[in-house]
Structure 1
Amino acid sequence: MMAGLSQLGRFSEPGLLIMVALAGGPKHGYAMQDDIAAMTDERPGPGTLYGAIRRLEEQAYIEALAEEGRRKPYRLTDLGRTVLAAELQRMRAVSRTGLRRLATS
């Protein structure tokens, strides 16, 4: 059975947002922060961002690429893409159920 983002515990939301940011292609930390801020109206701090990056790397969901000057870009791995797709499908199902229940209550 494939592990999911839930194993990241209370840190799963930053990890999810990082993976969504990387789904469009490789990014370095500052670009991820910008992308996450555009999605959520909240910019993750460096501690939150790089802590989640470390955990995602440990799970082999993302990997670092060659540094570009002072910037270190990251990308999703094939495993990361699979885990992200599964998590987004799960979230879609939960969202549909919640919205349907709200509409009928």
Structure 2
Amino acid sequence: MTTNKFSEPTLLILISLAEQNRHGYAIMEDIQSSYDVKLGPGTLYGAISRLEKAGYISPIESQDRKKPYKMTTEGEIYLTEQIKEIQKVTNIGMKRLGLV
């Protein structure tokens, strides 16, 4: 049996941007080094596009061809809500396993 790591791209991208503004490749590298999850370019940029359309991230002006992004206030609120929900589910699971 293999174990699947948590790999919801939109949440991982927002968590990466919560630390600092980053361009796509830097987000991908951060996610891989932090979570050992490799997002392909299609997955990464599809998720970035969805986050931008939702108003959770926005591009930052840049002089080079790399397009950095920053998390918006709406993105911070959304990420906070999602993390709280994940914590709630995790706490229930830990209790049911007798680990707390």
Unaligned runs of 5+ in 2: 1-6
Q: If the length of structure 1 is used for normalisation, what is the TM-score?
A: 0.83
In structure 2, the residue matched to 1:96 is: 91
Instruction: Give the one of 44, 57, 65 matched to 1:49.
Output: 44
In structure 2, the residue matched to 1:3 is: none
Root mean square deviation, CA, Å: 1.4
Shift, 1:68, TM fit: 3.9
Q: Secondary structure at the match of 1:43?
A: coil
Answering whether residue 67 of structure 2 is matched by residue 77 of structure 1, we say: no
* Amino acid corresponding to residue 64 of structure 1 in structure 2: P
Percent identical residues: 43
Deviations 1:48-84 (A, max 9, x none): 0000000000000000001241211001000000000
CA distance in 2, matches of 1:95, 1:21: 21
In structure 2, the residue matched to 1:13 is: 8
* Amino acid corresponding to residue 60 of structure 1 in structure 2: G
Structure 1 or 2: more helix by fraction = 1
* Amino acid corresponding to residue 95 of structure 1 in structure 2: T
Q: Secondary structure at the match of 2:8?
A: helix
Unaligned runs of 5+ in 1: 1-11
Shift, 1:39, TM fit: 2.4
Give the number of equivalent residue pairs.
Answer: 93
Q: Secondary structure at the match of 1:103?
A: coil
CA distance in 2, matches of 1:82, 1:42: 24
In structure 2, the residue matched to 1:36 is: 31
Moved over 6 A (4+): none
